[in-house]
Structure 1
Amino acid sequence: MPGYGRGNPLDATNPIRHHPQVTTTLLRRLALDLTPLRTSRDFRLVFSAAGISGFGSFITYVTVPYQVYEMTHDPLLVGLLGVVELVPLLVMGFVGGALADYLDRRRLVLGGEVGLTALCAVLLLNALSDQPHLWLLYLVAGLTAAVDGLQRPALEGLTPRLVTPAEIPAASALNSLRMQVAQLAGPALAGVLIASVDLVWVYAIDLATFAVSLACLAVVRAVPPPPAADRPSVRSVLTGLRYARSRPELLGTYLVDINAMFFGMPQALYPFMAGKLGGPAVLGLLYAAPAVGSLLATLGSGWTRQVHRHGLMVVLAAGAWGLAILAFGLVDSLWLALVLLALAGAADMVSGLFRMIIWNQTIPDHLRGRLAGIEMLSYSTGPLLGQLRSGLAARWLGVNGSIVSGGLLCVVGTVALAAALPQFLRYDGRDGLARKEAEDAAWAAAAATPATSPG
């Protein structure tokens, strides 16, 4: 009721109206922090390179499943793309993580970008063929996942080396913004291109973005490995796995996200939902809608600096994702479907922001690459297996039934994991940062002592 309690904000006598600094302060707390872009030249270059190539990659990310759909009209075969990508990602994620702790991370990122450029060229040549090969789409999908597994741990391991510890929340939000802009613009443009031009041009645009990305990465300064870095080996990989297992807050970030994406990821069904909601032009909107929500959540992410219960926020956001996906499966209106996907994207972004803060503020630098490999597997295997789950479930429950059941199981699984991981719920980010600083100092001291072999 107007005037109740704190007063009507529209009332001329309300003192808040006469103190614009109150509103200004609130907006500053919510606004995205751009400090890392101002203070770090190399962060700007990596940010630009990843953003430009990410834009093109999201165009292809929509186009390959659509091409499989056009060639087969089988939801299971579309979902199998995720399975083809899973095995190379599982293997190369561990390899890439170990290499990122032993080699120059900038060189690994640049080499991976060259490999992804070559694979995009193969897609272009396949599309130029009179009869494009279905097996080649699966092969390129698998090889792309393998290269991604090598590159991404090094890319994510760059952030703590390019910015100060205090700037990590802002850098995490900016990296999320970069991805969400690409995820929004890429699929939206892909939908328009798929509906209006030959697929050759779609792949050609992606190929062109790699040229710009390679130019940016070529001038980034070297990022040498930490002192006394572990050589890549099975032993070094196991060291990273043991460390991850010893940290309940890290296990919580992995398991909660895998649960949410495995049950609640409906992307393999987007081509079929698009058929019900308006046709191929709608496909790009379905892919882009979660990115709209993610983008809005990122632009208003300034409040994350004031929150220290990071584990609790991850759980709440994962539950909200599941509820939004469940509701998405119940609607048959395009605009309502897009709103629900946007809400799901916002929830996923909040979860992702706090997971990135936990990872970057708490993991010691000499393990950052290996843990980045584990992180990549955690947030990649869920969606990839989720595509297969949704495709299989759609054969028995229908498209909508698959989505609804997945959203429900996501919520149930999130509640169960929260009950099983009480330390994750209680996790305080200030304690994690102090622990990282102590572990980095101990490693540096051990590396400086000739008689001591850090382990």
Structure 2
Amino acid sequence: MPRTGRGFLADTTPLRTPAFKRLWIAAIVTVVGAQLTVVAVPTQLYQLTGSSAWVGLVGLFGLVPLIVFGLWGGAIADAVDRRGLLVFTGTGIAITSALLGVVSVTNIGGPWTILTLYAVQTAFLAINQPTRAAVLPRILPNDQLPAANTLLFTVNQVGAIAGPLLAGVVLTFSSVGILYFVDTACLAAAIWAAFNLPRLPVGDGPGGVRGAFAAVRRSAGFADVVAGFRYIATSQVLLVSFLVDIVAMAVGMPRAVFPEAAERVFGDPPGGGFALGALFASIAIGATLGGLFSGRLHGIRRQGVAVTVAICVWGLGVALSGLTSMLWLAVTLLAVAGAADLVSAVFRQTMLQVVATDQMRGRMQGVFTVVVAGGPRIGDLWHGPAADAWGTGAATFVGGIGVIVLTVLVVAIFPVFWRYRAPVAGDVPSTEPSGDAASADPPERPGNVSRDD
């Protein structure tokens, strides 16, 4: 039987809802497939060009559509039936994976073809992700959202570990093209799960294909993207949830120093070895363990406090990992940081789903997607030069301490975030979208608008 939140193991109560259960099962399959493509694209580019500079372009061709379509996709998700949008974007992701496989097998096209297809796929993904997150409050009650987000985040972390390992095994006896085709097959599960959702229109707009195009033209323009940012500015809880995540990742993410630290501090041979793999896997391993033993998170209402403390623990774990030359201790500290990051992510996601109105959830999730993807890349930009100037340990330590100082400063400036309490069943619904009073102790908005039984 599913757990009801008692004990330390993950609360699986949301799996009692058939619609969420299908989404979660599909996520188990598709997240592994997605990681296969994450490995396949840079591998194929290096095979074709023999140049790491070409591989570096993957970041650019992935980041630009992620920002543009993550923001615009959130506005689209607030204008059309979200079930249809999930089916459409999931199909687009599958088609681009299949085309990448065809390019690999037939040798038609070249590096620019691969990068272009990857950018198109990222655009579909950037629309799909905020839409999927915006769906959850429509199929689950608010008090189950932390558990549901934990289950999904844990699956993502498991995929981040298992996917690359599986890709490495497959590439020992097969080609890169097989990775793309496996990803395409896995995506069928996501399309199936989305197709079996109930209709999830936003407001009372017209249905069907014509209605969807009309809604996009009317309500998914640049002005609506800007309206999303204005909405964030009116709610200090939402604003701070984004600010502290930017601080955590842009200041504290130390992955850019891992290759040098693995060789110079932990004794790896040139080109990498066990230490390099352990460092890169440590944060994901910690997040996975944190998700598996997350049962106590279900009952936490002081979510602003929980996020603040979790991000400070993330910073402390990162900082201390920069002070040791013992690999096992560094990996342990980074794993603790990863578990804390999962706690922060779960509650920040839940805040977005509960505090934001349904008409704004897509745009809020779009901003969330951009912040989550962009923060670590900003961290890469300064950690590399800092490691050259000060050494990897000092750069990591400074980043971790910086996270703690800046997080405390942000929360001190906006104390309403610290006072925020999650709503409970029985609270009187409110139409207030924002404001300090609503943010500090907001009433619950109905969560199970369209339960699929």
Normalized against structure 2, the TM-score is what? 0.79
Q: Is the 8 A contact 1:322 1:344 kept in 2?
A: yes
Q: 1:272 and 1:116, CA in 2 relative to 1: closer, same or farther beyond 3 A?
A: farther
**Quick check: 1:46–1:217 contact (8 Å CA) kept in 2?**
yes
Answering whether residue 227 of structure 2 is matched by residue 239 of structure 1, we say: yes
- Report what 1:382 is aligned to: 375
In structure 1, distance between residues paired with 2:426 and 2:353: 9
Counterpart of 1:181 in structure 2 is: 158
Q: Which ranges in structure 2 are unaligned for 5 or more consecutive residues? A: 206-214, 434-442, 447-453
SS at match of 2:6: helix
Residue 243 of structure 1 aligns with an amino acid whose one-letter code is Y
Give the whole-Å Cα distance in 1 for the aligned partners of 2:169 and 2:152.
26
Work out whether residues 248 and 423 of structure 1, in 8 Å CA contact, stay in contact via their aligned partners in 2. Answer: yes
Greater Cα shift, 392-401 or 406-415: 392-401
Q: Is the 8 A contact 1:323 1:407 kept in 2?
A: yes
Q: Does 1:420 align with 2:435?
A: no
* C-alpha spacing 1:362/1:413, structure 2 compared with 1 (3 Å): same
Whether the 8 Å CA contact 1:181–1:291 is kept in 2: the answer is: yes
* Code of the aligned partner of 1:225: V
- Counterpart contact for 1:289–1:345, Cα < 8 Å: yes
Using the TM superposition, give the Cα deviation of residue 132 of structure 1 relative to its aligned residue in structure 2, in angstroms: 9.3
CA contact (8 A) 2:5 2:298 kept: no
Q: Is the 8 A contact 2:383 2:395 kept in 1?
A: yes
Aligned partner (choices 13, 16, 23) of residue 46 of structure 1: 23
Q: How does 1:2-401 map to 2 (within 5 A)?
A: 28-38=6-16, 40-64=17-41, 81-125=58-102, 127-128=104-105, 133-136=110-113, 138-193=115-170, 198-227=175-204, 231-268=219-256, 270=258, 277=268, 279=272, 285-394=278-387, 396=389
Shift of 1:421: 2.2
From the superposition, tell whether residues 319 and 84 of structure 1 become closer, same or farther in structure 2 (CA, over 3 Å): farther
- Cα separation, partners in 2 of 1:63 and 1:344, compared to 1, 3 Å: farther
Cα distance, 1:174 vs structure 2: 1.9
Query: What do the CA deviations read for 1:212-270 (whole angstroms, capped 9, x no partner)?
Result: 33333333332222336872233333332222111111111101101111122234555
CA contact (8 A) 2:82 2:200 kept: yes
| Cα contact 1:106–1:220 (8 A) shared by 2 | yes
Query: 1:353 Cα deviation (Å)?
Result: 1.3
Residue 115 of structure 1: CA displacement?
Answer: 2.0
The offset of 1:108, in angstroms, is 1.2
Provide the C-alpha distance between the structure 2 equivalents of 1:409 and 1:288, rounded to a whole number of angstroms. 23
Q: Does the 8 A contact of 1:191 with 1:284 survive in 2?
A: no
Which one has the bigger helix percentage?
A: 1
Local SS of the residue matching 2:226 = helix
Contact 1:362–1:435 (CA<8 Å) still a contact in 2? no
How well do the aligned residues superpose, as a CA RMSD in angstroms? 3.7
Please state how far the C-alpha of 1:86 moved relative to its aligned partner.
2.8
Q: Percent identity?
A: 34
1:385-405: per-residue Cα shift (whole Å, max 9, x none)?
A: 333444454555565555444
1:429 maps to what in 2? 422
After TM superposition, give the deviation of residue 196 of structure 1 in Å: 7.0
2 CA distance for matches of 1:57 and 1:406?
30
Worse-matched range after superposition: 344-353 or 326-335: 326-335
CA, structure 1 residues 27+361, in 2 after alignment: closer, same or farther (shift >3 Å)? closer
Which sits farther off after the overlay, 155-164 or 45-54? Answer: 45-54
Segments of 5+ residues of structure 1 without an aligned counterpart are: 1-24, 445-455
Which residue number in structure 1 is paired with residue 450 of structure 2?
Answer: none
Partner-residue secondary structure (3-state), 1:169: helix
1:5 matched to which residue of 2? none
Cα shift at 1:377 = 1.9
Contact 1:69 1:271 in 2 (8 A): no
Deviations 1:122-157 (A, max 9, x none): 443555577995555544443333222211121111
Taking a change above 3 Å as real, the CA distance of residues 217 and 81 of structure 1, as seen in their structure-2 partners, is: same
Cα distance in 2 between the residues matched to 1:90 and 1:52: 26
Contact 1:82 1:387 in 2 (8 A): no
- Residues 148 and 423 (structure 1), Cα distance of their counterparts in 2 relative to 1, 3 Å cut: same
